[in-house]
Homo-oligomer: A and B are copies of this chain.
Amino acid sequence: MAGSRRPGRNFLFVPGPTNIPDRVQRAMIVPSEDHRSSSFPELTLPLFEETKKIFKSREGQIFLFPATGTGAWEAALTNTLSPGDRVLAPRYGQFSTLWIDLARRVGLEVEVQEEEWGTGANPDRIEEALRADREHRIKAVLVVHNETTTGVTSDIGAVRKAIDAAGHPAMLFVDGVSAIGSIDFRAEEWRVDCAITGSQKGLMLPAGLGIVCASKRALEASKTAECRRVFFDFGDQAKANATGYFPYTPALPMLYGLREALACVEDEGLENVFARHRRLADSARAAVKAWGLTLCAKEEKWYSDTVSAVMVPDGVNGAEVIDIAYKRYNLALGAGLSQVAGKLFRIGHIGDLNELMLMGALAGVEMAMLDAGIRIEPGSGVAAAQKSLRGSQEAR
C-alpha cells in the first residue's frame, strides 16, 4: 500500500539496543548444529577467553547466559548471596532503582544511598557507610557504572578505593551494561567481583546474552550462597563450560555473533573504541551547548560517553520531541524515565557509530526540536559538533 514504507535507514540513537555491524549480522546467520558435538568447543573455549578482554580481566570467569542484562543482575546476586544478606547500593536513576528492586525481590536487604539524579555513586558516602558497618553485615556494594537514565558515569575506581579505605570486606558488583565495550572498564584493576553486561550495547549484538565476569572471590561465594537459582546457576555453567559445553541449549547465533563482535573490537582496538566514544560524545555535548541547552548530568565529571540526556526548556514535553523525531525523521531517541519523564530526551551515542551517523542524528534532533517549538538556531549544533570533531581529528 502506497505510503506504508519508510525509505532509508532508521537512525537508532537510543542507548541500546545498538546498531549491529554488517559483519556481525552475517556471522549470526548460522544453521543449527549439535551443541554437544565433539567440535563445538572449538567455538566456545576461545570465546570465553576473548570475552574477558573487554572486561580487562585475566583471572575472571565469564558466564554467557542466554538471557539479558536483567538476568545477569539476577545471576550475580543469587549466586553470591543468601536471603537476608545486606547490600549497599547508591540510587541515582531508573536502572539503579530496578537493580535495587531486583535485589529486594530475590530476598536481599538493601541499604540505599539516595543521590541526586544527574550525579552518581559518591565514594565518600560509600566509605562512610562501610566504616559504619562495623559488623560487616554489608556483603556487597552494587554500583551502576553508567546510569542510562541520566547520562551519568560513576567512577568505579574511586568506589574501589573507598571500599579499600574503609577496610571493608564487601564484594563489589558493577552493572556495566551501557558502559562495557564503550567506556574504559577494568574489572581486574578495580577488583570487581561481578561485572555485568548485556549483548545489545557496546557488544553491538541483539539482546539475548546476559554476561557476567566473576572474580575468584565471587566464585568462592557461590559455593555457599543460598539464594535459589537454577537457570542462572554459576556452578552448572562452570561445570559444563569447562569442556566447552553448556548445561542447556545455547543460543548459537548469539555465540557466533559474539565471536565476530569481539573480533570487531579487536580490529578497531579497544582503546580506539573508547576514544571514539569519547570523541563522539564530546561533539554531541558541543551541540547541546550550542543549542543553549543543558545536560541532566550535573557536572562534567559525570558526563557519560555513551548517552547524553538533554534537558528540554520549561513548557516543552521531551516526549513530543521524541515523537516527532521518530515519526517525521525516522530517528529513535531515548525517553525520560520516572522522575525525569518529559523533562529530557536522550541521545544514545553508543556502539557501532561514526561521525556522520551522529551528524545526521544531531541534524534530526535540531529539526525535531524546532518542530516542537524549541527555539534553537538551525544548524548550530551540527556546526559545533563539526568543530569539535575536526579539532579532535587534528589532534589525532
Contacts and interface: CB of A to CB of B under 8 A. Distances in A.
Given A268-B3, A357-B360, A363-B360, A31 B20 contact: yes
B227 A70 contact: no
B9 A357 contact: yes
Copies in the complex: 4
Nearest to A102: B230
A34 B7 contact: no
A22 interface: yes
Give the 9 A-B CB pairs with smallest separation, nearest first. Answer: A379-B383, A2-B269, A8-B354, A360-B360, A359-B363, A5-B267, A34-B332, A208-B251, A379-B379
B8 A353 contact: yes
Contacts of A47: none
Contacts of A22: 29-31
Given A377-B383, A378-B383, 18 more contacts: A3-B272, A7-B273, A8-B19, A8-B356, A14-B34, A20-B31, A26-B26, A33-B332, A38-B327, A66-B66, A66-B208, A67-B71, A67-B231, A69-B248, A71-B231, A206-B252, A359-B363, A371-B393
A90 interface: no
A31 B16 contact: no
Interface in A201-249: 206-208, 227-233, 247-249
A68 interface: yes
A18 interface: yes
Nearest to A70: B248
Contacts of A250: 207
B249 A207 contact: yes
A364 to B, nearest CB: 5
Nearest to A290: B379
B208 A16 contact: no
A206 to B, nearest CB: 5
A387 interface: yes
A229 B273 CA distance: 36
A370 B356 contact: no
> Which of A8, A78, A229 counts the most chain B CB atoms within 10 A?
A8
Contacts of A5: 264, 267-268
Contacts of A230: 70, 74, 101-102, 105-106
B26 A393 contact: no
Contacts of A227: 228
A281 to B, nearest CB: 14
B354 A370 contact: no
A40 to B, nearest CB: 10
Nearest to A360: B360
Contacts of A66: 66-68, 71, 207-208
Interface string A97-112: 0000110011100000
26 contacts: A1-B267, A3-B269, A4-B268, A7-B273, A8-B19, A9-B9, A14-B34, A14-B36, A19-B31, A28-B253, A29-B29, A66-B207, A68-B249, A70-B231, A83-B228, A106-B228, A206-B252, A207-B250, A228-B228, A231-B232, A331-B356, A356-B363, A363-B385, A378-B386, A379-B379, A379-B386
